[in-house]
Structure 1
């Protein structure tokens, strides 16, 4: 029954291998995003939340590991999808960033309403808002590329899982 087409679980296309020049602008964007003072912990939360909304397994895996490496507490990662219900776990700045992430990621639903935009302007300078918007935009592009191509998850050292179903802290 093979039609020569990949199954739904096989990676369809390796964009970086086929057209590395297509990755160059995205990598430059990432360099800009991470060169600012946003903080790797906040950027990881933003990227992880957008990836949750978009259902991107590759990016969920990557950004959860980045968040842990940036010192984000595992409990905050576990609760991130329901952050609205646990505001005490997230700073006002993080809440503003997460709300903006959701609004921009789901922009076709309601745009970016004032009740999301205004708190973001209180929590971030104009320069930081630009960087935050670029981070949100970039992760949405990465999610779409990874989902469209069924980007393979990276191989992980099985010993790191120590039978717990989650990577160990090592």
Structure 2
């Protein structure tokens, strides 16, 4: 399969500035970067975004993530390798990514569990990062971007 076009941001240079600001904002609230990497990877797996799955796993590994955890993000419920906070963030990522799967897309119990582990600025950052992940996923899947990807 071939990409339908280059990275759309390359045609709209101002969009790169906005994307960088969103990235900076999501990473400025004190959430462990490993949690944000897991949230990104899980959302990207759900959406079938090959470049985001590949780059997410590669970045997580560079930041010290273990192979056991990377190989089991998609089945995190059935493994012992994730903390309660990470599990809460992964559940939130799944529900916020699969909005159309249920009339109550993000049930109170999912939100409340995340709120036990993260303060409001951290929750805001996680929600923003889930949205940014879904943003990237939709661009990449729509334009059939391939992995690996070098958008630098």
> Secondary structure of the residue that 1:143 maps to in structure 2?
helix
Corresponding residue number in structure 2 for 1:54: 47
Give the conservation status (yes or no) of the 8 Å contact 1:11–1:152. no
Within 5 Å, which residues of 2 pair with 1:138-157? 138-154=132-148
**Which of the pair has the greater relative contact order for Cα pairs under 8 Å at 6+ separation?**
2
Select the residue among 95, 117, 121 that pairs with 1:127: 121
Q: CA deviation at 1:14?
A: 2.5
Q: What residue in structure 2 maps to residue 167 of structure 1?
A: none
The CA deviation at 1:16 is: 2.1
TM-score, normalised to structure 1, is: 0.82
Aligned residue among 9, 15, 18 for 1:16: 9
**Cross-structure match for 1:27:** 20
- Superposed structure 1 runs of 4+ greater than 3 Å apart: none
Larger radius of gyration: 1
TM superposition score normalised by structure 2? 0.91
Using the TM superposition, give the Cα deviation of residue 9 of structure 1 relative to its aligned residue in structure 2, in angstroms.
2.1
Aligned length: 148
Q: Is 1:83 the equivalent of 2:76?
A: yes
Q: Indicate conservation of the 8 Å contact 1:50/1:136, yes or no.
A: yes
Where structure 1 has 5 or more consecutive residues not aligned to the other structure, the ranges are 1-7, 157-170
| RMSD of Structure 2 on Structure 1 (CA) | 1.5
Q: d(CA) in 1 for partners of 2:106 and 2:120?
A: 16
Which sections of structure 2, spanning at least 5 residues, go unmatched?
A: none
